[in-house]
Amino acid sequence: MARLQSRHASQAGVVRLGEGGFGTTYRLSGRRGNQPVVLKLMPEHDIRARLSARLEQQIGAITALSHHEDMVTIAAWGTRHGRWYVAFEEAVGGSLAQLVDAGGSLDWRRVVRLGVRLGRVLELAHDLGVIHRDIKPANILLDAQGRPLLTDLGLGTLGCSFSLGTPAAADSLAVAAPEAARTMSLAPESDVYALAATMRLLLGGRGHSSRRRSEPPPTLIALLDWATAREPARRTSSMAAFRAELELLDDGHHRPLHIRLGDRLAG
């Protein structure tokens, strides 16, 4: 952190945004002209060596995947005094957690299209041996145009596993696969569960009294039920299979997807 601050001190302001499951988050303004970045500084922990080794093996693939059109781009990464930091390009439109927390929901067609887009990038990650580990509404950010972007790919074990009592950890556990409470050696099926559970929340599945523009079709509900089976062997077999099933329900998955959080109900 000190190295990043000194490098940009003459041209960037550093603002502490708060603490969560990933430790401390900062906003660095003025980097790369006028484009800010968000810096996540991971906490120290007794098991950091094993987890750091895993991340070190995967960070190249994670950084490359971050340039996908449906991902938040990683601007910088590294370690300082045994602590990982990752800096992301800032997504200024908020996160879908704000929608869920306000009792809002998305029209089922938008939820399906979101699942297709995120499923596609997660399929690529799984092909490279990278598991996201922390898919949830708070990790789906929106850019200035309202385009949803996935963040924190592969960082889950360095984050919420350290601070299980934080709101960030509670949000993760709300959509995490059951096996995530028992082991950090997760498989692609765990990401399938978390994506499907996140989609269910965005449909209004947390029990809020949110109105929907239209009821989701039984086929979608059955697909989400299948993807969130408690036993991994009973779930949709892969992210590729889950994404392919979602595409059958989406007649506009090639069109852009934009989500605004200005209204209580986004659709």
Mean pLDDT over 161-186 rounds to: 72
Assigned domain for 15 exists: yes
Residues in the chain: 267
The total number of structural domains that make up the chain: 2
Last residue of a domain, one of 64, 89, 114: 89
Mean pLDDT over 237-257 rounds to: 88
Task: Please state, in angstroms and rounded to a whole number, the distance separating the CA atoms of residues 89 and 105.
Answer: 26
Beta bridge partners of 28: 14, 37
What's the pLDDT band for 124 if we cut at 50, 70, 90?
A: very high
| 205: CATH | 1.10.510.10
Find where tokens 């950091």 sit: 48
Last residue of a domain, one of 89, 104, 139: 89
Structure tokens at 65: 């995947």
- Shared domain check, 83 and 101: no
Last residue of a domain, one of 89, 111, 130: 89
Find where tokens 């934009």 sit: 258
CB-CB contact of 72 with 139 (8 Å): no
| 17: CATH | 3.30.200.20
| Residue with more model confidence, 251 or 223 | 223
Question: What crossing angle do the helices spanning 188-202 and 167-175 adopt, rounded to 10°?
Answer: 100
Residue 97 has pLDDT above 80, yes or no: yes
- Shared domain check, 127 and 62: no
State the chain's mean pLDDT as an integer.
Answer: 81
pTM of the model: 0.84
- Shared domain check, 242 and 110: yes
CB-CB contact of 23 with 41 (8 Å): yes
For 139, list phi and psi in degrees, rounded to 5: -100, 15
Which residue range is the domain that position 162 belongs to?
96-247
- Shared domain check, 212 and 144: yes
pLDDT 10s digits, 140-153 = 999 999 999 999 89
- Shared domain check, 21 and 117: no
Mean pLDDT over 97-101 rounds to: 93
Q: What is the pLDDT of residue 164?
A: 52
Q: DSSP class of residue 12?
A: -
Task: Please state, in angstroms and rounded to a whole number, the distance separating the CA atoms of residues 201 and 195.
Answer: 10
- Shared domain check, 237 and 159: yes
